[in-house]
Amino acid sequence: MSLDLSQPLKPPSAARVAAYAGLLLLGAATGVAGSLVQAGWFPGGLLLALAGAVGLFLGGSRAVGTRAGAVAPAVGWMVAVVLLTAGRPEGDFLFAAGGGSYLFLLGGMATAVICATLGVGRQPIGADARLGK
């Protein structure tokens, strides 16, 4: 199958949109679970939470075959984590003001960017491709 990059893009199929929506929800669930685990079992929980996020980001990219497969769960992860960092009017919050929480936030964002960059991009396939010439 050859990918002709000179043709206009077509809108994604319903199955692809459903896959992106599922990955978005999985990213949100991973963000919520990771925020609970990273504080509970420090430092092993932090490593486990970040490894789960990386696995989801790269797995989504490989499963869908595009970089958007890594971006969709990363967006869900970030939205969930940012919503959990907000304090409530009663003064309750989920994240402590420790180094582990900051490592989780910044490490998760950095791994999301890295995984989206490493994801599979649009490349022409076939004999008519002029890659490497």
Q: What confidence score (pLDDT) does residue 119 get?
A: 63
Q: What confidence score (pLDDT) does residue 100 get?
A: 80
Q: What confidence score (pLDDT) does residue 27 get?
A: 94
Q: What confidence score (pLDDT) does residue 115 get?
A: 85
Q: What confidence score (pLDDT) does residue 64 get?
A: 86
* CA separation for the pair 90, 106 (Å, rounded): 26
Please list the rounded mean pLDDT of every run of 10 residues in the chain (133 residues). 65 87 94 86 87 92 86 93 79 70 89 82 58 57
Residue 32 token pair? 């919520």
Q: What confidence score (pLDDT) does residue 126 get?
A: 59
Q: CA-based Rg of the chain, rounded to a whole angstrom?
A: 18
